[in-house]
Amino acid sequence: MRAEINLYNSDCMEAMREMDENQFELAIVDPPYGIGESSKNFSSRSVLANSNKYTVKDWDNQTPDGFYFSELKRVSKNQIIWGWNYFVAYLNECPSYIVWNKKNGANDFADCESAWCSKKGAARVFEYKWHGMLQENMKEKEVRIHPTQKPVQLYKWLLKNYAKEGDKILDTHLGSGSIALACWDMKHDLTAFEIDAEYYEAAKKRLEQHTSQGQLF
């Protein structure tokens, strides 16, 4: 049975207003941290590998407000929220957290990223090298199309450990679309939103290319 992947080039806030309570079993989201990553010069921040030059934008100039998080919790039963340390004013005590060790090496990027998880349990660590052209799986390297792109394998690990068969997944900030590829491979229905037209089109194309490899989309 194939997954149903629905991607929308629209504002997630407008979409969530129309959603039912607990419409999704799990939301996995990576909202803007408000640290200006969308407008930074990435080409000179690494001594290990050349960085891509992305289009300068302003989507990371501020964080979502409290209404975003209240709506997110209303429409989903559980949540995994990346960059939770930037949103502590809007989140309750962290029931459990997730750490992604990027094994970056010598540079000024963070060694890891962490996520707030609504499911109670022990803290978990996922280790996966992710530094420009240097990736954990060099035989199947992912093309970087977004400055804060996360690897498909990270989302597969999240789905394996925090989602159940048949769970419907929500992503409010699609970005590069890595979660869409993971949901397709692991047969989870996904509804995802991306307000930026350039990133939306790139993510949609990436998904179409992925699903056409040996499969009919």
pLDDT mean for each 10 residues of the chain (217 residues)? 94 97 98 68 47 59 89 98 92 92 78 94 94 83 86 97 96 97 97 95 96 61
| pLDDT score at 47 | 46
Q: Are strands 5-8 and 190-193 parallel, antiparallel or unpaired?
A: parallel
| pLDDT score at 131 | 82
Enumerate helices (H) and strands (E) in the chain, giving the number of each. Answer: 5, 10
7 inside domain: no
First to last CA, the chain: 12
19 inside domain: no
Name the domain count of the chain: 1
200 inside domain: no
197 inside domain: no
Model-level pTM? Answer: 0.87
28 inside domain: yes
179 inside domain: no
| pLDDT score at 119 | 95
| pLDDT score at 59 | 54
Range of the domain at 105: 24-165
214 inside domain: no
1 inside domain: no
Asked if 81 and 90 count as a contact pair (C-beta separation under 8 A), the reply is: no
Asked if 19 and 191 count as a contact pair (C-beta separation under 8 A), the reply is: no
Q: Which amino acid is at 212?
A: S
Using alpha carbons, select from 51, 43, 42 the residue that is nearest to residue 131.
Answer: 51
| pLDDT score at 211 | 93
